[in-house]
Structure 1
Amino acid sequence: MESTASLEKMPAAFSLFEHYDDSSARSDQMLKQVAVPQPPRLEPQEPNSATSTTIAVYWSINKEDVIDSFQVYCMEEPQDDQEVNDLVEEYRVTVKESYCIFEDLEPDRYYQVWVMAVNFTGCSLPSERAIFRTAPSTPVIRAEDCTVCWNTATIRWQPANPEATETYTLEYCRQHSPEGEGLRSYSGIKGLQLKVNLQPNDNYFFYVRAINTFGTSEQSEAALISTRGTRFRLLRETAHPTLQISSNGTVISFAERRRLTEIPSVLGEELPACGQHYWETTVTDCPAYRLGICSSSAVQAGALGQGETSWYMHCSEPQRYTFFYSGIVSDVHVTERPARVGILLDYNHQRLLFINAESGQLLFIIRHRFNEGVHPAFALEKPGKCTLHLGIEPPDSARHK
């Protein structure tokens, strides 16, 4: 009876096998009916979709296509300075979605992109190739290139490739900002510098981004800008032909030994008529020199050290200094010749101080009603060298003189 029962069940088992066999046959038939996908259609690169190292690629497909995945290719366009036989690197990624992001690319570069659709029947023909571009390289802010005067700062930056950039965005915040105070920014900057109003006696972090149609670069490294000290640039166009200015703009050299009818001098950027401005200078191998300030009118007249528009210290002997101001001449004898001279222009208290920066000794103080901006002035009457020290806080001894 048991054997008979199992025999009776066998036709049902054979029926299951037959059903499976029919299903497999229909599956083969379906495979023959699924066509290879049509080539996808690449979308043009969207504005602001790239970074310095990434591009985003999108494409569309035919609705009737059955697709398992996509193979996306990216190849860098040859550069102008690239050799003909140089190898060109090609990237490939496989994705399920109809978009992908290529990473670890080079900034300021063009890339050819194409895509193919894949299913279990086969692979489509490649799409038409499209050109994509990465965002510009990240610019660099160097604090020593910036001008800082009490409550303003002119921030300057250097791009890696100016031709690849359309505008810049400058961002900044206080170094120790209170809770809830975020980044401030200026966008749409066409040039390579921007003057910003700040609070005096404070520290700030500045960042810059480069922007073109395709995207925005990464944020630059932070540049610490402090309004506790003064930083200015020498105006090379005001320099006497015999003076040489170093590439970083902090060293003035005079090597001419023949007698000149003019005093070889150079001026710094104009300092605004507010707050305090302080800088230091070291003069080496030069027995006769002048340090001080002059008004814009003195600059236009080319008369540094004459009349009532210049206030300066003149050194012509090792221990004797002469101070010229408002038509007055004062001689000062010192027991120790200062190797480094500090100059503090104090608009708040209407005074100009000359200090031995190493010892803190006050050399001389000029009291005058300064009503306009002035230029730092430097003159070497004999061969030698003058080095500027900028961005330094005034010593406490000078603040309370």
Structure 2
Amino acid sequence: MEANRGGRTFQRFSVDTNESLHFEPCEDTPSSPTGIEHDEDNVFMKEENESEMTSIRTRLQGKVAEMENFAGHLEEIFLTVEENFGRQEQHLEQHYNDVLQTLSQRHNERAAGLLEEKKSKMEALYNQLLSCGQALDASKELIETAQEIYRTPDKRVFLKTVIPIIKRIEMFAKEKVELTLSTKLEFETLPADLSDVKTMMDSINAIPAPSAPVINPQMSNSATQTSLRVCWSLFSDDTVEYYDLYYRPVLEDTPADGFCAPHVTTVKVKETHCTVTDLLPNAQYELWVTATNTTGISPAMIKQRECTSCPDAALIRWESGNTNPVDSYTVELSEMDTDGTQSTVTESIVAVPTCQCLIQLLSGRRYLISVRAVNVGGPSDKSDPVYISTSGTFFYFLEETAHPCLSISEDGFTIFYGDEELPISAMALDDSAFTRCVAILGDLIPVRARHYWEVEVDEGTEFRIGVAYEDTERSSYLGVNASSWCMRHILSSSRHKYEFLHNGWSPDLRITVHPVRIGVALDYERGTLSFFNVNLEQHLHTFQCHFRNYVQPCFSLDNPGSLTVHNAIEAPEYTFI
């Protein structure tokens, strides 16, 4: 023991069972002769040790429970893999037996065919042999008869009988005896048609789509306030790769239009059970499950050039891309954050029967939208997504309505009218194409809301821009009929002339500053169509009209030039005052 005289503590050295040294500071106070303080320390240490042991035991029990759950999980996975392997083995064995049965049937059919061919050859050879035998017998008889007549001593009898014999010999000599074989000795080699066998061999790797799983009734003690254990069964020998469990809360005040329906959550699991957590307390949930394997169906393909949008909605169109039957489609959309990342919340619109869907959206947002095809085998993978912005109205040209003299840029927002004449062969027109006016329509979303887009045209180009009904006359000029409203620019030797035409009539207006960029504002609710000089923020003219049907943007070039449409931009404040 070594004292430290400069202070009130000293260092105590002790050696424990594993021969390591511990340094414990001790107060420089005399020990109690009665040992009471030691007893209190022992009691305190005992309680502390018991508490620590209890905590350790609790943690160990938790670890044991987790290990037991993990072991049970592994056992279930093992059983699932073993069951799937057994089903796959049975599937392969069934295909093997089917192939062998088909090959055996083909062998029997081929053997029966060879037997029939052999029988026909033998019959032909036998008939030919009989014919040869009959000819030999006849010739032998004639020879013997001729010899007998030749030996007849009576000349009159000879002359009387020799003439019929000579005629018979002449007739026999005229008869042709076939001395070549009437049939070929070789058997005909027919090509083996094993196309069905090849199809069966190719189908070995094709797994049939699984049947729909059935959720088992809820068991007692299977739910807490925020969790639920769900089990289901697959009443078939189908091979399943994974299950998709869908669930959403059942709310009494859900709107009938379905646009604000509760969010559907999806969980992908390998087993026939799943514990769903983070549920709302004291709430009812709707659950359904689908099974999926490698058969599946191909994802849909979104037609980006046919998708349109406005600040309130988007119209998404796609192609099925499937030879397998499709029961319905599911449209999934998630909002994009301001930093460009995708939100974790995904909304779904299920049971869409056709290849298009009109989706109600919030204004001024960006969305990522994809489509899944669904049949009895479950949903397909997601299609390639399309980005939709609801900052303004967005559309492409309807190419099938374009006059043959118009061409469209690769980005789909500029039209060109060349000065070269097209041959008659190139003037083949579609029923929906303009024939007289060099014009084209735009594909505006069918939503009765406010729409705004801008048009940029060269100063030396004569044009007509506005809106028209989809069934407007294709053999008429824009603005001269009752189904179109447009602003027209006419070049003269002294100035630019502008007309605002509808049904062939225009008010008497004069615009002093040529607008390089023109804003077009359509308001279904007010029944107005307005034109603006964007650079000057100047109002040019407004049509007051009640649109009985949906209208489409229309664009026409009256002389060679180009026209560019700018859309998906927010409408300026002065447009809808």
TM-score interval, normalised by the smaller of the two chains: 0.5 to 0.7
Q: Tell me what 1:201 maps to.
A: 363
CA-to-partner distance for each residue in 1:323-363, whole Å, 9 max, x for gaps?
Answer: 11355313544443222211111122221111123332222
Residue 323 in structure 1 maps to residue 500 in structure 2: yes
Q: Which has the higher strand share?
A: 1
The structure 2 residue matched to 1:250, chosen from 406, 413, 423, is: 413
The structure 2 residue matched to 1:291, chosen from 456, 465, 473, is: 465
5 Å matches for 1:79-98?
A: none
For residues 359 and 142 of structure 1, the distance between their equivalents in structure 2, rounded to whole angstroms, comes to 37
- Does structure 1 retain, via aligned residues, the 8 Å contact 2:500–2:506? yes
CA-to-partner distance for each residue in 1:159-201, whole Å, 9 max, x for gaps?
Answer: 8x6557946421125568xx9986132246563xx12241563
Residue 357 in structure 1 maps to residue 534 in structure 2: yes
CA-to-partner distance for each residue in 1:42-78, whole Å, 9 max, x for gaps?
Answer: xxxxxxx9xxxxx9992139xxxxxxxxxxxxxxxxx
Task: Call closer, same or farther: CA 1:298–1:217 in 2, change over 3 Å.
Answer: closer
Task: Call closer, same or farther: CA 1:324–1:145 in 2, change over 3 Å.
Answer: same
- Does structure 1 retain, via aligned residues, the 8 Å contact 2:530–2:543? yes
Residue 58 in structure 1 maps to residue 235 in structure 2: no
The normalised TM-score by structure 2 is 0.41
User: Offset of 1:372 from its aligned partner?
Assistant: 2.4
Task: Call closer, same or farther: CA 1:360–1:163 in 2, change over 3 Å.
Answer: farther
Structure 1 unaligned blocks of 5 or more: 1-48, 50-54, 62-98, 103-131
Residue 230 in structure 1 maps to residue 230 in structure 2: no
The normalised TM-score by structure 1 is 0.56
Q: Aligned letter for 1:330?
A: P
For residues 84 and 441 of structure 2, the distance between their equivalents in structure 1, rounded to whole angstroms, comes to 57
Structure 2 unaligned blocks of 5 or more: 1-79, 88-238, 243-292, 338-342, 428-434
- Does structure 1 retain, via aligned residues, the 8 Å contact 2:481–2:504? yes
For residues 225 and 310 of structure 1, the distance between their equivalents in structure 2, rounded to whole angstroms, comes to 29
Which of these two proteins has the greater Rg computed from alpha carbons?
A: 2
5 Å matches for 1:48-197?
A: 58-60=84-86, 133=294, 141=302, 145-149=306-310, 151-157=312-318, 162-163=322-323, 166=326, 168-173=329-334, 183-187=347-351, 191=355, 194-197=356-359
User: Offset of 1:392 from its aligned partner?
Assistant: 1.9
Residue 345 in structure 1 maps to residue 522 in structure 2: yes
Higher relative contact order (CA 8 A, sep 6+): 1
For residues 398 and 543 of structure 2, the distance between their equivalents in structure 1, rounded to whole angstroms, comes to 25
For residues 523 and 516 of structure 2, the distance between their equivalents in structure 1, rounded to whole angstroms, comes to 23
Q: Aligned letter for 2:307?
A: C
SS of structure 2 residue aligned to 1:59: helix
Task: Call closer, same or farther: CA 1:156–1:348 in 2, change over 3 Å.
Answer: same
Deviates more, 1:142-151 or 1:316-325: 142-151
Q: Aligned letter for 2:439?
A: S
Task: Call closer, same or farther: CA 1:145–1:375 in 2, change over 3 Å.
Answer: closer
SS of structure 2 residue aligned to 1:370: coil
For residues 199 and 140 of structure 1, the distance between their equivalents in structure 2, rounded to whole angstroms, comes to 21
- Does structure 2 retain, via aligned residues, the 8 Å contact 1:273–1:371? no
Q: Aligned letter for 1:243?
A: L
Percent identity, please: 30
5 Å matches for 1:29-48?
A: none
Residue 304 in structure 1 maps to residue 478 in structure 2: yes
For residues 149 and 221 of structure 1, the distance between their equivalents in structure 2, rounded to whole angstroms, comes to 21
User: Offset of 1:298 from its aligned partner?
Assistant: 2.5
Task: Call closer, same or farther: CA 1:60–1:233 in 2, change over 3 Å.
Answer: same
- Number of residue pairs matched? 276
- Does structure 2 retain, via aligned residues, the 8 Å contact 1:138–1:218? yes
For residues 455 and 82 of structure 2, the distance between their equivalents in structure 1, rounded to whole angstroms, comes to 53
